[in-house]
Structure 1
């Protein structure tokens, strides 16, 4: 009987099948595999299915061994050949693995180098953008009739400005005692404040956030200034950065929101104050641009404060001067120079007719805005004054010093009515809430106090979430939440 040969392998078929469609005989396992993969006959290339195959009855006799496997020496020779082939294949695989490893190592090195180059280019891009912004502002201010000449000339406190200040002061003074705060966060809830969010929003290459402010009517709007020279707008509701304002060349010491307009003001170690305005009136998170750059000071700008009118800006500096500026035009209204000491901090009184400034000489000077004369000097601290804040009712002033203490002053007398030992080191920041009921203090930790009586503060909460010095604190409206910033590069929110 002749042997049935597979049309694919050319060997005798162990389980032959016949296809009437192609006229060929196949080994069943081979043709089924071809049909599953291609659906065609590998010989004739015709379309073929399993239904086209017919089993062929054939002798199931066992095939004889090849001649080389009929003796022990022959079998050993076969095994030796198989072993040699296996070793050759193993060697080739190891060679390929070694080559692949070298290629992968080279690719990883190239990827790492590319990441470093991209990071450097991004830093250079940001620096170039900041320089371009500064040059654009300088060009804008260098047109005839403006620029440096305009910055140097003082417009002066005209009778019209003084009259407006007096009118707003009288209006605020009349309504102060009538104010009630039904939405004020109760002491029991403030005692339970805990950190609800921690956000490292400034650059890690220049770590540290130095100042923070929360919008007076919208607690979700937060602005910070950092060692990296950036001003960051942060949306607390979405927990993400809304805008990054670039323009300062050195660290930003003070930031502030305008109450009624989408305006942000920032003061920097580069001796400038920038007024940023939003181009989208319907969206506070829209793009901001620098409307004015105030260059009245010759040294680091340490603090800023907006007048209750909303039209004038107070700045203090380490050049032993303070200035009053028109927020709309950026022009200097009054610049008080050549004082006895530098001013690390300065704020307007809630009525706007007086201001208080903390000095390097360990004193607090209270100034009359209309006459620009000192009307009171508060002494008692043993270190330079780092920060100060007025209570919402205007009766009290709290001051923080490098001596680690916070002093509470009654401005109606004026005398020191309480001293709080907060830290063994410096106290960097301090802030009353808008009602004047709570006082937040930033030192090594965030400490919260409340008025237990009309003239004394009691400790309410101690928040120890920061890992470095706390540089800024600020309350939202009615003390519903608290924000703090630190040299650990984080903005933390408490509720």
Structure 2
């Protein structure tokens, strides 16, 4: 069987070679088939020519024989003459045939020459084809070797990729475990920090109580020493003023324990005497009153906070009161002070200008210099004594208004700072930047106390009590708890967020986006409550600012055509369109806290005061 298989295998490759040779002969013979046929015809004509030549030679020999007979014969001229005419006619006939054959042979010779040339050309072409075939066979061999080499390399790379994938899977699993450990460690750290803060608070409270008990015990001992004898007061009746004595006594008695110790003022020495217990109670009440006043925080700024105007009903702007060219180039930001009598504007000329607002006019007050980039955001502190401005030079500038000096420069962002806002106090601030971070700052130290990393550009930020809200380029609004490290809520919107504004009662948030809409978000439910849009309103830039009115009755924003659009919060309808003064896109608007004035700024350097 093996021998049969071997013989069968040998015959198969022989048949394959024979088949290949036949295919090659058929392919190459087809190219020279016309030449072979022409050559065959030429051979046939050559043989015919040889046949005619031999026939002519035989006929010429036959003609020579009668001529010889005529010469040998001496009688009979007419037969000789008759044969001579026949020979002459035959000669002419054959000469004509010879001429024709010569022509045919010449033509055939010419065709033979042409066919020889064609044969030589075909031979050269065949040689070229053979050479090309040999080169192609060599190229095929090289490519085959290269293919085998690449297959080996691909196998090696496949094995390497498999090993890398195994390593990647192992590293990913390790990363997952490490991330879990890190999360647990962070949670434990947060719990430990809370416990530490709680224990510190408990220790401080215990120490305060202990100090208070020590002070009260010491005061009691001193009072006991001072009250071993009876205390009497001698006052002449005409020098006693009841209104001057009654007020402090009644105040001390009310602060002590909600029970009046004296129901009437001192009248005379005989009518007035104070026992030891009453004296101790009075001093204790007075001490508690002083301690309470000592624990309270009061300053000039708090007194100034109480002077902030309160808007009950905002006045709708209807006419232009004043127009100023505030800056040398585009104006990006505008803000009223808490007292509503000072206005701040900032532009791409790197300046912050302060204006007095009085009598429906804008009067230039002073210029704050020191920023090294275009101003993108302006904010007053709650007292109105400081101005915080964000700029394109990756920094935030803090100025004192009274001395026009730069108090602090906050650096740490890696890209343009787009927003800067004060927290609930003048000592804390929050900034947002295009470096995808939101930072919290301690203005007393001038240092960043927390950095929040986000996946998208931050265009604006606002602050509640314990929540930071940021609007981003990826069409999302994010909520951050200042007491925790994570994002607590994400609200998607239809367009890139350009600005955020929170109402004074911190219950609603106004969002302006590049889909040419304003959205009112209910912060109690964290959902979109209203959507404002209007024909003709176009959001002009990525930093267009929209605001609530001070009484939260209206929403105001500027459009790319220079108009101001005002919506009614209660009805949700477009209340008014203010136009005619701006010739460029309106970047920002501001509504004073008293509700009487509105200011708008545009890309054409104008500041417009509306009444």
Determine if the TM-score, normalized by the shorter chain, exceeds 0.5: yes
Give the Å deviation of 1:433: 2.8
The TM-score with structure 1 as length reference comes to 0.57
Cα distance in 2 between the residues matched to 1:210 and 1:197: 19
For the 8 Å contact 1:363–1:384, the answer to whether it is kept is yes
Alignment of 1:287-306 (within 5 A): 287-306=403-422
Alignment of 1:412-491 (within 5 A): 412-422=524-534, 423-426=537-540, 428-444=544-560, 445-452=563-570, 457-464=572-579, 465-491=581-607
Equivalence for 1:344? 459
Q: 1:449 to 1:372 in 2, by over 3 A?
A: farther
Tell me the alpha carbon deviations over residues 179-206 of structure 1, each in whole angstroms, 9 at most, x when there is no partner: xx985335xx41x521101110111xxx
Give the Å deviation of 1:315: 0.3
Give the Å deviation of 1:363: 0.8
Give the Å deviation of 1:309: 2.3
Equivalence for 1:406? 518
Tell me the alpha carbon deviations over residues 339-364 of structure 1, each in whole angstroms, 9 at most, x when there is no partner: 21110111112xx2112111110111
RMSD: 2.3
Give the Å deviation of 1:247: 1.4
For the 8 Å contact 1:393–1:435, the answer to whether it is kept is no
Tell me the alpha carbon deviations over residues 83-109 of structure 1, each in whole angstroms, 9 at most, x when there is no partner: xxxxxxxxxxxxxxxxxxxxxxxxxxx
Give the Å deviation of 1:436: 2.1
Counterpart pick for 1:184 among 312, 329, 336: 312
| Unpaired stretches in structure 2, ≥5 consecutive residues | 1-192, 202-308
Counterpart pick for 1:311 among 415, 427, 443: 427
Cα distance in 1 between the residues matched to 2:443 and 2:419: 15
1:369 aligns with 2:482: yes
1:271 aligns with 2:394: yes
Give the Å deviation of 1:435: 2.9
Give the length in aligned residue pairs.
300
Equivalence for 1:223? 344
Give the Å deviation of 1:299: 0.4
Determine helix, strand or coil for the equivalent of 2:515: coil
Q: 1:255 to 1:183 in 2, by over 3 A?
A: closer
The TM-score with structure 2 as length reference comes to 0.47
Give the Å deviation of 1:228: 0.7
Equivalence for 1:257? 380
Determine helix, strand or coil for the equivalent of 2:569: strand
Cα distance in 1 between the residues matched to 2:473 and 2:322: 35
1:239 aligns with 2:362: yes
| Unpaired stretches in structure 1, ≥5 consecutive residues | 1-155, 164-180, 281-286
Equivalence for 1:25? none
Equivalence for 1:326? 442
Cα distance in 2 between the residues matched to 1:375 and 1:364: 11
Q: 1:336 to 1:494 in 2, by over 3 A?
A: same
For the 8 Å contact 1:184–1:480, the answer to whether it is kept is no
Rg comparison, structure with higher value: 2
For the 8 Å contact 1:324–1:333, the answer to whether it is kept is yes
Determine helix, strand or coil for the equivalent of 1:484: strand
For the 8 Å contact 1:433–1:478, the answer to whether it is kept is no
Give the Å deviation of 1:295: 0.5
Q: 1:411 to 1:159 in 2, by over 3 A?
A: same
Q: 1:183 to 1:420 in 2, by over 3 A?
A: closer
Q: 1:425 to 1:182 in 2, by over 3 A?
A: closer
1:388 aligns with 2:500: yes
Cα distance in 2 between the residues matched to 1:232 and 1:268: 14
Give the Å deviation of 1:209: 0.3
For the 8 Å contact 2:433–2:459, the answer to whether it is kept is yes
The answer to which structure has the higher helix fraction is: 2
For the 8 Å contact 1:438–1:479, the answer to whether it is kept is no
